[in-house]
Amino acid sequence: MKLRRVRAVARKELLHILRDPRSLGMAIAIPMLMLILFGFALTVDVDDVPLVVWDQSLSPASRELLSRFDGSPYFSLAGSVRNERELEEAVDRREALVGLVIPADFAQRIEAGRSVPVEFLVDGSDSNKAAIAIGYGEVIAAMYSQEVAIEALRRVGGARLRPPLDVRPRVWFNADMESRNYIIPGLIAVIMMVIAAMLTSLTVAREWERGTMEQLISTPVKGPELILGKLIPYFAVAMLDVLLAVLMGEFVFHVPLRGNVALVFGLGAIFLAGALAMGMLISIVAKTQLLASQLAMITTFLPAFLLSGFMIPTANMPVVIRGITYVVPASYFVTLLHGIYLKGVGLEILAGEAILLVIYGTVMVLVANRKFKKKLI
């Protein structure tokens, strides 16, 4: 391999990129646009759940219970209803996700120290929100029940009783429990996987369609020199995208970067080398730009988005699907970015994932070089 030939191919590809400013602009703008759209739109936080109340008791005790829901950051009072039909209509119209039904004898049962059934009706059409809302409701109800029981014992015993267990939770790595802090690093990995493969998936296919591949084949440039020369300019563009994504994470989304910044770019370079080589392999196999772009989207975006653990925990997937996730390179890069961003850990913890990324990049480059043949058929 001669560096002079690699440099010549890289210069040719760079000139092609610079002569097509729209494509270059799209290569930079699309990742930023995707990061903004997904970064602000994707969230797993569930708060201000709309709540309607059918308070049949209309007593101080029922208002005390209602104040616990209304005063929490998880529920917002959307109104009150007078019967079951109005409650159903409020849920059907999506004016409320939850309906709280307090029975007429609520205060009497509380005063008598008897248990009282309170209905907590949840719209289960969105199972994720419903499950989280149920969890919030159960916690609020349990705290209210505990306070009522302690107050009843105090009146009987005369002394102020305290709960035997004082639980004080302390959250590490994401103290504010902001889902954005978890989503943005993973989103950077997914976007870089898609964009890198899309950048190079058209390179060789474009040469075939324009008829310039015959000229390249007739030159002394060897296959590995051609592949490497074509990868270098797009590698520079992809690294620029990584820089912009990291800056946006810091200054737009305010995601803390607790780890080594150099480690982010180093591992990002390894990941991008594999993703770019994968796009090059797709371009070599497809030989048409339309087919190459479609294959690149199917083989990068869907696995990276759905099977990397970015949005759906892999532990919750069926065994067969879980096995497939081990060959999705984005899953390792997502784990690396989460560890570096949120926990501030380094290679002493993340060495396994880093080694797998190196293997992935090496295999993709070798396969792309082996698949490319300097002949017309």
* pLDDT digit string, tens, across residues 82-133: 999 999 999 999 899 999 999 999 999 988 888 899 999 999 988 888 988 9
Q: Would you say the C-alpha torsion 145, 151, 157, 162 has a positive or negative sign? A: positive
pLDDT in tens, 220-236: 888 888 889 989 999 99
Whether the pLDDT of residue 376 is over 60: the answer is no
pLDDT band at 39 (very low <50, low <70, confident <90, very high): confident
Mean pLDDT estimate for the chain: 87
| pTM, to two decimals | 0.83
49-157 architecture in CATH? 3-Layer(aba) Sandwich (3.40)
- Contact present, 300 and 201 (Cβ < 8 Å): no
Q: Name the percent of the chain lying above pLDDT 90.
A: 43
Q: Closest by alpha carbon to 293, among 214, 206, 365?
A: 206
What are the C-alpha distances in Å from 276 to residues 273, 279, 288, 328? 5, 5, 17, 15
Q: Which residues of 64-83 are buried (b: 16+ CB within 10 A; e: fewer)?
A: ebbeebeebebbebbeebee
Domain ranges of the chain: 3-43+178-371, 49-157
pLDDT in tens, 157-181: 655 656 667 777 888 888 878 888 8
Query: What pLDDT does residue 159 have?
Result: 58
pLDDT in tens, 328-371: 999 999 999 999 999 999 999 999 999 999 999 999 999 988 88
- Contact present, 23 and 17 (Cβ < 8 Å): yes
- Contact present, 299 and 197 (Cβ < 8 Å): yes
